[in-house]
Amino acid sequence: MRQGWRKGPWTPEEDELLKEYVKSHGDCKWSSVARLSGLKRNGKSCRLRWVNYLRPGLKRAPFTPLEEGIIIELHAIWGNKWSTIARYLPGRTDNEIKNYWRTHFKEREDKPYRDHKQKDKFEAPTSDAFLGQNKKDHCQPDGETRDHKMNDEQGYDSSSVGDQCLPWETPYPEIPYWPDLVVGDDPFLWAGGLWNFDDDLVVLS
DNA sequence: AACACGTACAACCGCCGATTA
DNA sequence: ATAATCGGCGGTTGTACGTGT
């Protein structure tokens, strides 16, 4: 392994270098980023910085109650499949959702409502509020939530869309599913052209 | 005002699967 | 067939900032 990679917080100069690199080479080939961009960061660090911070279309705004509801529901289905959950929340990264879950819900999962200061805040709307009545139609017949450690045998059909782990049936047809290869970095989608959580869910016709 | 504590978030680490030589 | 490399993912840590005492 190559020694001497820089670590720690990114500087604005490094961000600019990385943006320039992605502009000219695309957001791939992270292994060559150090050689081609002049950055003293390894590929993984560059990829992480790009995906979680620099990528166009990231919201970087507080989670809305609607987004909270989506996270709660999808986590109940998929568990800690943060990247999968993130595909349903354009403009949000898996890291962002993971952090949000840990700070807002994980403690309560262990000790419900322990945090008196957050109790009221936790009254997040259930997805019923925005998913309508047919939620159960797309869950397990007995209404059980699936094991959080669901694996391929239990439900993923990873053959459907390349490496995208689609559930064997989309749990919520009301929520457009956005695998990366569909959404990509389309500024229109990421900018909320189809999604506007500040108001209401805009469903594709 | 100073300190302690809690929260939020950026970033790193280790593992795993896919790809390539 | 297999070892090396790479990209992606989830878990964890470090720290800046806010809030309470």
Residues A164-186 have pLDDT tens digits of 333 334 444 445 554 443 444 44
Between CA A33 and C1' C8 the distance (Å) reads: 17
Higher pLDDT, A172 or A21: A21
Could you tell me which residues come within 8 angstroms of residue A186 by beta carbon, excluding any fewer than 6 positions away? A57
Confidence of residue A8 (pLDDT cuts 50, 70, 90): confident
Where, residue-wise, is CATH 1.10.10.60 in chain A? 12-54
Could you tell me which residues come within 8 angstroms of residue A80 by beta carbon, excluding any fewer than 6 positions away? A98, A148
Name the average pLDDT for chain A.
62
Contact (CB, 8 A) for A63 and A55: no
The number of residues making up chain A comes to: 205
Q: Which of residues 151-170 of A touch strand B (CB under 7 A)?
A: 163
What would the mean pLDDT of A97-126 be, rounded to a whole number?
Answer: 55
| Homologous superfamily, domain A12-54 | Homeodomain-like (1.10.10.60)
Between CA A92 and C1' C19 the distance (Å) reads: 27
Between CA A66 and C1' C19 the distance (Å) reads: 27
Confidence of residue A4 (pLDDT cuts 50, 70, 90): confident
